[in-house]
Structure 1
């Protein structure tokens, strides 16, 4: 049961167009936006941030962006966001092999050296205290320029907000990401996130 009930859609009717776009992107309307609906300005700002960070054309491909988000959420331990990121990764063309083997990114042959460098930063950035080192950035710079690095860090920071929000609220997880994660990710469990 969520610690903060989602706002009814009828109370957020002025955001119908935004909700339609979210539903189109995800394939369903995520519950976290409805719990953010208690602060509509925050909800709208988070959607705008997500659009700027994830959907705006840049120097990194969508596949890498989704992998970074997935690894950051996995490192943070947010089962809601991990399931969402894994589901989005599948929806937008990442192979199941990468999704199932993200924990072995340093050794699994399906990951490139460039992906490993980005995933290493995504993993270490979500430790407390932050464990990203100068050496990690040196490795990142072998593969990416400044704009791409800013995109990678932006993705990690954006997911930190989602991870903290959803883990703190215990947001109910929707059936599509629940079904995908529970059937395809052997280590995953919904934990505090009830299915709705």
Structure 2
């Protein structure tokens, strides 16, 4: 159980209830997270529509987004986010075992050169953002448009925010997230 109570969408004004339900119904099994964010209407009003709009825009290929999210979530040991994003990354073609060893990216047989670049950049942008090697950034610029670089950086740092938020408030993984991860383990 989270350290604060979950707020149900029925407790919110209609505009916020609509955002809550739209996100919880379409983005993935993040209902417990949305229910905690509902304590702060401005967060609910702005963060979740931003995530939905970014997903709809498809500026950054989903494979690279999910690689970055899983890497940052592993760096922060955020089990909630790894559990939720592991199935999304599996859909993008990386096996469950490959996802489990994504932090060994240098010799990972399921990652191509661009995947490895995303892992390397996610680690650098999260751990040492003021010391990202210029050569790494040049490689990033060669592989991605400026808009994609900005979104990748946004999603890396936003992921770290969500990792810390989820862990600080001990947000529980939803049953659907558990089932998706168990399905991956069973080979479904």
- Give the structure-2-normalised TM-score: 0.83
Q: Does 1:8 align with 2:8?
A: yes
1:161 aligns with 161
2:19–2:44: 8 Å Cα contact kept in structure 1?
A: no
CA shift at 1:27, angstroms?
4.6
Cα 1:151–1:116, aligned 2, differ >3 Å: closer, same or farther?
Answer: same
2:20–2:44: 8 Å Cα contact kept in structure 1?
A: no
What runs of 5+ residues in structure 1 fail to find an aligned partner? 186-196
Cα 1:13–1:172, aligned 2, differ >3 Å: closer, same or farther?
Answer: farther
CA shift at 1:151, angstroms?
1.6
Work out the CA distance in 2 between the residues paired with 1:44 and 1:94. 33
2:34 aligns with 33
Q: Does 1:105 align with 2:87?
A: no
CA displacement, residues 92-112 of structure 1 (integer Å, 9 cap, x when unaligned)? 443325423312222112111
Work out the CA distance in 2 between the residues paired with 1:27 and 1:153. 22
CA displacement, residues 105-130 of structure 1 (integer Å, 9 cap, x when unaligned)? 22112111111111111123222676
- Give the alignment of 1:41-60 within 5 angstroms: 41-58=42-59, 60=60
2:152 aligns with 152
Cα 1:107–1:151, aligned 2, differ >3 Å: closer, same or farther?
Answer: same
1:53–1:154: 8 Å Cα contact kept in structure 2?
A: no
Cα 1:101–1:153, aligned 2, differ >3 Å: closer, same or farther?
Answer: same
What runs of 5+ residues in structure 2 fail to find an aligned partner? none
2:18 aligns with 17
CA displacement, residues 114-155 of structure 1 (integer Å, 9 cap, x when unaligned)? 111111111232226766332321332232232221121011
CA shift at 1:63, angstroms?
1.5
**What is the aligned-residue RMSD (CA, Å)?**
2.5
Q: Does 1:89 align with 2:89?
A: yes
CA displacement, residues 50-78 of structure 1 (integer Å, 9 cap, x when unaligned)? 124333232x3112112111212111221
The count of corresponding residues between Structure 1 and Structure 2 is 183
Work out the CA distance in 1 between the residues paired with 2:26 and 2:8. 21
- Give the structure-1-normalised TM-score: 0.80
Q: Secondary structure at the match of 1:123?
A: helix
1:50–1:158: 8 Å Cα contact kept in structure 2?
A: no
CA shift at 1:161, angstroms?
1.9
Moved segments of 4+, more than 6 Å: none
Cα 1:118–1:172, aligned 2, differ >3 Å: closer, same or farther?
Answer: same
CA shift at 1:29, angstroms?
4.5
